[in-house]
Amino acid sequence: MTDRQLWLLRHARAEAGDSMMEDADRPLSHAGRHQADRLGEWMYEQGFRPGLIVSSPAVRARQTTELACERLEFDLNHVHYDPGLYLASRGDLLRIIQDMRVPHGPLMLVGHNPGLEELLIWLCGEPLPRTDKDKLLTTANLARVEIGDSGALSEGGGQLIDLTRADELT
């Protein structure tokens, strides 16, 4: 990875699914579609543009990515769907990130907990901003992390710039 920022986006709220549905096939709920749309709109308003987006191919992550990209006016040709991101561990995420070459701008991962949350804690340490219910990355949360001048990822080597929760946007 060549840029100095890493963005971690947890997918928006998904339908609960049923016993006949595979977990990876769960789509966004109505509320989740609104979350993804609002977060993408907010990112556009802030002038936030990733250089590259790598997303889990799970339906809920793919839909989050597509809705956010629509609002960001971000070309879906610059999105890479990586099967390794589906329910990836912190170690899996680190390997994916280290293999990425970002042409310009931050790398944004769109994926799942607990891996994204574990990576954020590993990079930035505690304390991190949590909800009233002691949650860190709830659905449709964007954590922007400064990873240092070298761009190398190391335990405690990141600095949280901000954590934005779609449900808290007005």
pLDDT of 102 > 90? The answer is no
Spatial CB neighbours of 46, under 8 Å, sequence gap ≥ 6: none
* Per-residue confidence band for 2, with pLDDT thresholds at 50, 70 and 90: very low
* Per-residue confidence band for 98, with pLDDT thresholds at 50, 70 and 90: confident
Tens digit of each residue's pLDDT (9 = 90 or more) over 125-165: 989 999 989 999 999 999 999 987 665 789 999 999 999 99
Domains of the chain, each with CATH number or no CATH:
5-15+22-168 (3.40.50.1240)
